[in-house]
Structures are given as C-alpha cells and as structure tokens.
Amino acid sequence: MVSDSQVRQLRLRGQRLHPPHSSATSVRQVVTDVCGIQTQETEAGALSIRVRCAELTANDIIHAQIEDRSIIRTWTMRGTLHLVAADDLRWLLSLLGPVFIRSSRKRRLDLGLDEETGERGVSVLRELLGERGPLTKAEIAENLSAKGIPMDGQASIHLIGLAALQGLVCYGPDMGRKNTFVLLEDWLGKKIEIPAENGIDELARRYLTAFAPATVDDFASWSGLGIRECRTAWEKLAQLVEVKLRDSTAWMLKYQLEELNTSTENKPVVRLLPRYDTYLLGYADRSLIIDPEHVKRIYPGGGLLHPALLVDGKVAGMWKINRKRDHIEVQVESFGILSREVRQELETEVKELAYFYGLPTVMKCNLDSNS
C-alpha cells in the first residue's frame, strides 16, 4: 500500500515541483516534462513554469515563446489554452484537434458559424494573417466581419480556435496588453503537417509520467477525451503497475516504484501555485490534494481556480499578488497553523518570485504559526 504522503511526493516529483524546482534546465524542458502548462491567463502560465524551474525570470519565458519559439500557446487538452512544446504540437493536434472541433460544433452554430461559414471564415482568416499578421482579435473580427463572416460576441475567438485546432493558427507576440494571432507555419518557419496517427497512447504515457499515481478517470478529466478510449490506451501501456491507496486503486509506471522510498530533505516542500496550475487540474479526485472543507475556496466553480499555497503536495492556503508602483506585495492566507519551517520555506518562495519579476517583493501574511 502506498501512503498519502508517498502519493503526494511522487506527484510533486512528476510535476517537477520537487526536488528544488526540478532538474529541468530550460522553459521548453519544463513544458515538455509536464506535457503542457495551462495558460488561460498569460501571467498564470508563466508562474506555473516559474515554480518548476529555479532561477527563472519572466523574460526567460517570453524569450522561449517569442524569440526561440520553442513553446507555443494554443488550444490542446480539454480544448483549453496551453503552452506546449513546439516539438509536441503535431501529435497533440492530430489527437485533440478533431475531438474538440466536434465538441464545440454546437457552440459555433449558436454563434452563426455553421460548417460552410466556418470553413470560409478559416480560409479568410488564413489569407488575412498571411498578408497582415500578427493581428489582434479585434482586428481579425473587423476584417472578417467586412467579408460577411459573423463576428458578434464570442464568434471571433471560436473561429480563431477552430483554425488553431486545425493546426493553422497560434498565439503570437503581445501588442501591449493585447494578444495577437499568427499563422503557425509563419511563426515556426515551416508548415506543420498534421499526421493521421493516433497519439492517445503517447498522451497516456506522458500523463502518467507527470501525474502518477493516477486513475483512468483522472486521465480522462485532464485530457478531455472520452473515458472509453482513455481506458483502451491505459490498458495498452507497457510497464503499468497497480498500487493500493488509502481507499482506492491507482496506477503508475514500473520505474516510478523505485522513487517510493527515495529519501527526501527533512525540510517541507512549499510552493506558490498560480491560478489554473496543472497540478491542481490534473485529477478528477482531488481528495489527496485538498481537504473537503477548503475545496470551494480554491475551486469555487464556474471554471475558476484560485492560486494555492502548497505544502508537501497539499493545499494549505491561498495567495495573491498585489502590484504596487515600485514593488510587488504577496498576500498569503493559510487554512491553519503553519510551522516555523514552513514559514521559512514560504519566505524563500517569495524571494524567488522577486527574482522572477526583478522587483522588490513584500510578503503580507494572514496565517497562524507555531513559535
């Protein structure tokens, strides 16, 4: 039987949250290791990478995305925005693109984008970005509307998403505070051929590498794929091992068994996870991550997910950043008593946030502590 603490330790390692901010040496490596970083919010995605890689700055992530273009922002797992490694883009879009194009069809119809109109809109968008990209969503909407393509409400972003899931479009450089979009082949300097192969077996293996111990339901929840096809892929995995947890069963890859008894540091592992962090989204069953009485404070519903203070793999509080004119204020609220050792590691995390932003950082706490 695997104890709760062992489960959390394995998950921290798989997620590159421990040992100290992972062994990853680059932004691309972090994104590859966890098979994508959710990034509905640009800053949250950057902070998810920051917490997994030591001595990283905000400019390092911008460089990887805009200059090296080794990571791409587009729609993948669950049909939501992720940063994924450029090297993984082909097989991810091959697997996930058709699934989420189908699942969002009704929403497109509601927005006036039937099959014919959507196809024509993608064609016009492709031509427009080829001639004038990068362009903002507003610029795209204005130009496509002039061509008779419905662009009211959320129609523009759904059309852009349709083109992205087809492997034609991705996010480009920001224009001030506004996002822009570009042709994927222009952005990467080569055409992305979408293969016909089925990548679900690879996705299942990559998921377990980053999230084990986990279940098929966890994998389906994280990926957004159907439970039946997830179960089929699960059963085909080589070196799959079943382990008993407190009151359930989970699976991991055989080599991960060697990490069960790997010695760890005596000091606690304290991490400041941002909004929508993949560790918080990776499981259908979150009972090992957060106590029931605190669930609504982190997962309030409506698609929202708040930043979390993580102590040894378990949510122990909330936090947020308040931007001031010449510094950043990190406000932390714990869900209970924090030991002196935890507070010391929390202070280290806040110092690393200061390094990441290149600004002085002050911690404001609403928490209990042992003296």
Query: What's the number of domains the chain is made of?
Result: 2
Tell me, yes or no, whether 284 lies in a domain. no
- Give the chain's count of helices (H) and strands (E): 16, 13
The beta-strand segments (E) located in 207-327 are 240-244, 249-253, 270-273, 308-311, 314-323
Tell me, yes or no, whether 191 lies in a domain. no
Q: Are residues 300 and 359 in the same domain?
A: yes
Tell me, yes or no, whether 247 lies in a domain. yes
- Structural domain including 216 reads 197-259
What CATH number does the domain containing 355 carry?
A: 3.30.70
* Residues paired with residue 331 on neighbouring β-strands, in sequence order: 320, 364
pLDDT over 70 at 21, yes or no: no
Structural domain ending residue among the three candidates 259, 276, 307: 259
pLDDT over 70 at 20, yes or no: no
Radius of gyration of the chain (CA): 21
Tell me, yes or no, whether 208 lies in a domain. yes
Could you read off the pLDDT of 300-334 as tens digits, one per residue? 998 899 999 999 999 999 999 998 888 999 999 99
Q: Are residues 309 and 249 in the same domain?
A: no
What CATH number does the domain containing 208 carry?
A: 1.10.10.10
Between CA 306 and CA 299 the distance in angstroms is 7
Tell me, yes or no, whether 279 lies in a domain. no
Backbone torsions φ then ψ of 174, nearest 5 degrees: -70, 145
Tokens of 182: 């570009």
**In whole numbers, what is the pLDDT of the chain averaged over residues?**
92
Tell me, yes or no, whether 326 lies in a domain. yes
The pLDDT confidence band at residue 191, using thresholds 50, 70 and 90, is confident
Q: What share of the chain is helix, strand, coil (3-state, %, to 5)?
A: 45, 20, 35
- pTM for this prediction: 0.93
Tell me, yes or no, whether 43 lies in a domain. no
Mean of pLDDT values over 33-55: 94
Tell me, yes or no, whether 315 lies in a domain. yes
pLDDT at 24: 58
pLDDT at 325: 84
The pLDDT confidence band at residue 133, using thresholds 50, 70 and 90, is confident
Q: Are residues 203 and 248 in the same domain?
A: yes
pLDDT at 265: 60
pLDDT over 50 at 371, yes or no: no
pLDDT at 115: 96
pLDDT at 196: 65
pLDDT at 198: 74
Q: Are residues 207 and 253 in the same domain?
A: yes
